[in-house]
Structure 1
């Protein structure tokens, strides 16, 4: 029952997700840039609609190979539609716990995905199998408990955000997964581990502030109906959070800091 709840809550709604499609390696996974070079092979676990995967492919070039996997068939369909007939770029539906391939990769990357898994250690163990000797496992994820706004957003958004964390926690997801990754990597046998802050900071005055700071309004639009259905908030509260938060962005909002860490280890 618990596994079923986690699976259902992790499932990405079918509606268009603008956050996924505006991500690239440069703006959302820049920790990978130090690894990417022409000719290498990369596995992107939890690739979503493939925006970052396509960006990785641009870096490894025609002599490289990039495989994106995701359990959501709708997202894999989108990824294939967005990247037709690209040699060296492929997408497969695959579960992070059970996916298997004879291919071994120079880099296995998993970005913002472990936050949606109730058994992250088991997922890391499976991903570790696909890293070549000398290759790297690169994990990027959040500590949602350390999100900060200046000044505080409207109470309606705080109510939504606290409900979002409770909804996740009750499904078995680790809201502070970023700060636990180092320990998990050591538990599965890695010795030399590098932790790099990759905080996403939106500041008024930045050209994209109105877009990037709206992340949680977009979450309320996309994921909010799931919270309503599960009884964590009402539909009226969800809509109020979106409206009042959008007004905060236009008026009082100065900055938002999303706590994000890259945790990387080399295969011996």
Structure 2
């Protein structure tokens, strides 16, 4: 299989990403709702194109301070274009391993990002430095090994999904990071560590089932070419997975549950 640097595997492909843009605090990061109030200062690490960041700023208001950082110049450019004239919000290109500022925040949040890092403990330690005393570090991430479909998806999608997990593992990414987060936060000395299940469940009776259940077709469309280039699947297998999975959604698919945990701690 072709060697591919870890940073390249983590890089989000350019272009519009429907998965990122349909997320808000309410539907994609609801664990933050208990913290958000006018005037709060928030750092959103791995903000992507800024959809959730904008939703945070709606709640912290013009007196708040919301900063989104992401290593992707392309995504930060999109975030700045999408924000319009919303007050109290800014975006900077920045890497979680090396981001430096003298500023500290009431809340540092990082959603669905540590899954793409080969050194999550280092990233967490750097984020902890940016939390005010008494403030909170809130992490949201997956255990990709615990996904559930009813009924089982087509064999072609299972093949793609296993290739996706192997591709990630070989890059040093933790497919089960959600279940390892609490131990990491305790090790950092954070207090009041809490775990909240935030499973992403979509079922046929939902009005948006055809859209939300299509997550893995979208992954195959967006990330799949990287797997093909690296030799984990063929292009024919990628396209077959998309076609068969879309047919599963249209015909027999009943539900999909993606295992997602919010794990949070307080700075002493």
Aligning the two structures, in what range does the TM-score lie when normalised by the shorter sequence?
over 0.9
1:162-196 Cα deviation digits (max 9, x unpaired): 00000000000000000000111111112320000
Match of 2:15 in 1: 15
1:25-61 Cα deviation digits (max 9, x unpaired): 0000000000000001000000000000000000001
Match of 1:232 in 2: 232
| Inter-partner Cα distance in structure 2 for 1:6 and 1:19 | 22
Match of 2:125 in 1: 125
> TM-score if structure 2 supplies the norm length?
0.98
Contact 1:19 1:215 survives alignment (8 Å): yes
| Inter-partner Cα distance in structure 2 for 1:233 and 1:99 | 35
Match of 1:58 in 2: 58
Match of 1:113 in 2: 113
Contact 2:210 2:249 survives alignment (8 Å): yes
Residues 185-224 of structure 1 correspond to what in structure 2 (within 5 A)?
185-224=185-224
> TM-score if structure 1 supplies the norm length?
0.98
| Inter-partner Cα distance in structure 1 for 2:85 and 2:151 | 47
SS in 2 for 1:229: helix
Residues 19-168 of structure 1 correspond to what in structure 2 (within 5 A)?
19-168=19-168
**Aligned alpha-carbon RMSD (Å):** 1.0
Which 4+ runs in 1 deviate beyond 2 A? Answer: 84-87
1:116-141 Cα deviation digits (max 9, x unpaired): 00000000000000101111000000
Do the aligned partners of residues 38 and 97 (structure 1) sit closer, same or farther apart at CA in structure 2, a change above 3 Å counting?
A: same
1:72-102 Cα deviation digits (max 9, x unpaired): 0000000000013332100000000000111
Displacement of 1:4 after TM fit? 7.1
Match of 2:180 in 1: 180
| Inter-partner Cα distance in structure 2 for 1:4 and 1:196 | 35
Contact 2:24 2:51 survives alignment (8 Å): yes
Question: How many residue pairs get matched?
Answer: 266
| Inter-partner Cα distance in structure 2 for 1:5 and 1:213 | 30
1:175-220 Cα deviation digits (max 9, x unpaired): 0000000111111112320000000000001001000000000000
Is structure 2 residue 15 aligned with structure 1 residue 6? no
SS in 2 for 1:42: strand
Structure 2: runs of 5 or more not aligned: none
| Inter-partner Cα distance in structure 2 for 1:82 and 1:227 | 30
Structure 1: runs of 5 or more not aligned: none
Contact 1:15 1:222 survives alignment (8 Å): no
Contact 2:191 2:267 survives alignment (8 Å): no
| Inter-partner Cα distance in structure 1 for 2:139 and 2:258 | 16
